[in-house]
Every structure is written in C-alpha cells, then in structure tokens.
C-alpha cells in the first residue's frame, strides 16, 4: 500500500507554506488557519473498552452545549469514528491542506478511513508511517477555529499514543476503563505513561458499568462489580463517572446516528472538559 495515495502531498504543502515554521508542533502548518483552544486525548490501556464511543459521546455533548468541536481519529489501523457519525465524504485538498469532513451537526472529523477507497481496506503500516499520518492530521489539516479537538487514540502505550503525546499540545487526557479487574492494571499503565510525559490526566470514566433490564428495570452489572471509583483512587486521578451498556447506543453507532442518541448519563459529559 502506498501511503501517498491517502495522505496530503507533503511537497505541495511545503511549497505553499514556505514562511511557516514547521518544527514547532504547537503551531499547525495548514496556512496558519488553525486556532484550537483545547486538545483532549481519549486513551485506554487496552482495546474493547469503548474508547471511540466515549470520544464520540463527548464530542456530541460538547456540540450540544454550543462549542465548536473536531475529532482526530488517531486510531489509524482501526478507525471507527466516521462510521459512528455516518460520515463518508472524502476530505477536500485545498492546497494548504485537507478540509476535514463534517457530521450532520457540524463536528469536524479527520480519519484515515475517509481517505481509503473502501472503508474495509486494511492499513498495513509500520509504526513510523502511522506516526507520520498522525502528525499530518495535526499539521496539514485545516481545522480552523475549534473550541475542542478530541483525539481518539488507539489502545495501548506504544507508537501512536507516544506520537500524539510528543507531537500535539495536549491539554489533558481522559482514560477509559471497564469493570473487569484486569483493566485496572492497564489503566495504571496508561496513567503512568501520561505522568511520564508530564501530561495532565483529566480523569477516568468507566464504560460498560451496568445495564438496565428493559422488562423489570433491574440494574445488572454484566461484567462484575464496578471498579471505576476504586481504579481512579488507585491511579490517583479524578473519577468522572460510569456509563451503562445500552443497546440503543450500539444501534445508533452502527447506523451512523450517534448524534441523535440521548441519555441522562451522557448529557453532561461536556462538563468534564469545560473551558475555563
């Protein structure tokens, strides 16, 4: 696979930005057009905890509160953000860089899946190419004015999360967990990584904490007793709250309609990262 098919032509961008300082990661190079107030990464120590769903719900909550929001899908080899938002339009190359696609409510989205010919084409890249793609999503995408840019990280603590932590001016990190005891160990790994990079951990959110029986209303802890507060205490980070298993949310995400989903548990997620 030739990565040049999917990424911005770097030579063209360089020629059009000769006065731009490219070595400063805090200044996006897309024509000096980007003014982003807060950059928040959403991270998990392992896969399968619903990190992308939390990213999407947080973006929707912030948008409903009147903020301008973008999502950088940094999960290069396993992107899911475009499908959740029903976005499939390819980003437009305007010379200075790529214009991100927009969801139905105006959330700006950049994902490698939007640059592939088919959304199910695999991206078989080694670490350096993945890192380069993430850096281009920051430097060569015309995000414009944003109150929040949310970065959906792949699971783990290796190349891609490291690239984001070293290259982007992150204002904070949200760590996603689930109730299984095993997850507590990997949460600590994620928090320790953030601490080693001198980055602020906004807090921990536990996903899949419980489900409510649709017939009797009983609250059922499918994956065992919630360990969110305990895990946050052990990692010495704030506990943001718990999110339930909801088949309606799963259906909305599958159908690309996450922006239509509403629940009491997710309505105030934007308060986790509100601008000062």
Output the average pLDDT for the chain.
85
Give phi and psi for 89, each to the nearest 5.
-75, 135
Q: What is the pLDDT, as a whole number, of residue 21?
A: 39
Does 182 map to a domain? yes
Does 161 map to a domain? yes
Among 6-10, 75-79, 111-115, the least confident range: 6-10
* Burial state string for 129-147 with b = 16 or more CB within 10 A and e = fewer than 16: bbbbbbbbbbbbbbbeebb
Structural domain containing residue 239 = 32-264
Count of domains in the chain? 1
Does 257 map to a domain? yes
Does 9 map to a domain? no
Q: Give 174's pLDDT tier (boundaries 50, 70, 90).
A: very high
Q: Give 194's pLDDT tier (boundaries 50, 70, 90).
A: very high
pLDDT above 70 for 176: yes
Tens of pLDDT, residue by residue over 63-88, are 999 999 999 999 988 889 999 999 99
What separation in angstroms does the CA of 180 have from each of 152, 193, 212?
Answer: 22, 21, 18
Does 19 map to a domain? no
Among 8-17, 143-152, 216-225, 234-243, the least confident range: 8-17
Kindly report the CATH number assigned to the domain that includes residue 255.
3.40.50.300
Mean of pLDDT values over 148-155: 93
pLDDT above 70 for 12: no
pLDDT above 70 for 8: no
Does 27 map to a domain? no
Does 3 map to a domain? no
CA separation for the pair 33, 12 (Å, rounded): 17
Q: What is the pLDDT, as a whole number, of residue 28?
A: 44
Q: Give 109's pLDDT tier (boundaries 50, 70, 90).
A: very high
pLDDT above 90 for 2: no
Does 23 map to a domain? no
Q: Sign of the CA dihedral 48, 210, 195, 25?
A: positive
CA separation for the pair 133, 141 (Å, rounded): 11
Tens of pLDDT, residue by residue over 217-271, are 888 998 888 888 988 998 899 999 999 999 999 999 999 999 999 998 898 999 9
Q: Which tokens go with 27?
A: 């200044």
């Amino acid at each position: 696979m030739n990565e040049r098919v999917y990424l911005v032509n770097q030579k063209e961008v360089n020629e059009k930005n000769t006065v731009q300082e490219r070595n400063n990661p805090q200044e996006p190079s897309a024509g000096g057009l980007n003014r982003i107030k807060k950059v928040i990464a959403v991270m998990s120590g392992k896969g399968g905890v619903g990190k992308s769903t939390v990213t999407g719900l947080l973006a929707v909550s912030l948008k409903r509160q009147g903020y301008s929001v973008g999502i950088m899908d940094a999960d290069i080899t396993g992107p899911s953000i475009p499908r959740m938002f029903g976005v499939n339009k390819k980003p437009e190359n305007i010379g200075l860089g790529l214009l991100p696609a927009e969801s139905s409510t105006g959330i700006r989205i950049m994902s490698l899946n939007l640059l592939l010919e088919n959304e199910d084409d695999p991206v078989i890249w080694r670490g350096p190419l993945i890192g380069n793609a993430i850096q281009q999503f920051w430097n060569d995408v015309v995000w414009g004015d944003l109150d929040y840019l949310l970065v959906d990280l792949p699971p783990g603590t290796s190349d891609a999360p490291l690239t984001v932590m070293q290259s982007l001016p992150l204002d904070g990190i949200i760590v996603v967990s689930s109730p299984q005891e095993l997850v507590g160990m990997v949460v600590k790994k994620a928090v320790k990584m953030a601490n080693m990079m001198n980055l602020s951990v906004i807090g921990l959110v536990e996903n899949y904490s419980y489900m409510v029986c649709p017939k009797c209303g009983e609250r059922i802890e499918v994956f065992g007793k919630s360990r969110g507060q305990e895990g946050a205490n052990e990692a010495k980070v704030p506990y943001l709250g718990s999110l339930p298993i909801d088949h309606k949310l799963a259906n909305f995400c599958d159908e690309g309609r996450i922006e239509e989903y509403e629940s009491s548990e997710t309505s105030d997620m934007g308060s986790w990262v509100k601008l000062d």
